[in-house]
Amino acid sequence: MLATFLIGLREGLEAALVVGILLAYVRKIGRDDVVARIWIGVGGAVLLFLGIGALLTFGTYGLTFEAQELIGGSLSILAVAMVTWMVFWMQKTARSLKKELQASVDTALEKSAWALVFIGFISVAREGIETALFLWSAVESSDSHTTWLGAVLGLLTAVALGWAIHRGMVSINLATFFTWTSFLLIIVAAGVLAYGIHDLQEARFLPGPFEAAPEGASDFVASWYGADAWAFRVGDVISPTGWIGVLLKGTVGFAPEMTKLEVIAWAIYLVAVMTTYFYRHHKNRPRAVAPLPTTQGAA
């Protein structure tokens, strides 16, 4: 629930803020008549989000186990790629997002007021697709049936916060919020990536413990198959269904049984992406300007 709550809150608040910017701007320029058209676009994006979620949940029924795992693993890796892109995109464009949205509204109004339906749809659809994929992957990687509850609570909290911010009832430091939630999302994404690798191993798409090494394979190649493919198996120490195991898997992506490929993918992603994010965050942070020295003894 912790991971899916974070995903729902972060992605939902982004979408809510975008909608708030669009609505505030058209009202500011006296075009209250186009508000409904923005909401039509937003409604279409929400339906797309729900449709993708339903397709991912029920669309694989009837397929073989290997096919389900292949699709699940591939979509998990795609979700990680999209969320990683989103984290860096938001880091780069957060300061200019408001101006870009307002410019889009101006361009749309010059063509047709109905073009705002498209603006509303696109502005929220991107977040919706990312959210549907990432939530589905996070839920699939969890053994708990309450993970959907965390997602719903996160989305509802995001809507409430977005409405309160739009009404001026709540003021939060959005830069700090998105910075810290980005750090946490990167950690969650590393776990989803490891789970995606595990799915692809179960689908026999990647070498793993679920199949024997090819005949005549070298010792190095054989070490990635069968029992040698496990990095560790500590299920007798940390129960996968116990609260410690569930908490670790839902937060940092640790499972009591992980293969070497899972651990390597998890570590490389976490170190590379977190280091890059920290570097860019430090590089783009506003620097304090030193005061000019005062002249002493001036006549």
In the chain, where are the structural domains located? 2-284
| Helix (H), strand (E) at residue 272 | helix 260-284
The continuous run of DSSP H or E covering 230 comes out as strand 230-233
Q: Which residues contact 26 (CB under 8 A, 6 or more apart)?
A: 32, 34, 35, 38, 105, 116
Burial 241-263 (b: 16+ CB within 10 A, else e): eeeebbebbbeebbbbebbbbbb
Instruction: Report the length, in residues, of the chain.
Output: 299
pLDDT tens digits, 140-157: 766 556 677 888 888 888
Query: Tell me, what's the pLDDT at 259?
Result: 94
Per-10-residue mean pLDDT of the chain, 299 residues long, equals 78 84 84 85 88 79 82 89 87 77 82 79 82 78 69 86 78 77 88 91 92 87 91 83 73 84 95 92 62 48
What residue type is 186 in one-letter code?
A: I
Evaluate whether 87 touches 93 at the Cβ level (below 8 Å).
Answer: no
* Count of other CB atoms within 10 angstroms of residue 91: 18
Read off the pTM: 0.80
The predicted-structure confidence for 80-123, as pLDDT tens digits, reads as follows 998 898 888 888 877 777 788 888 888 887 877 678 788 888 87
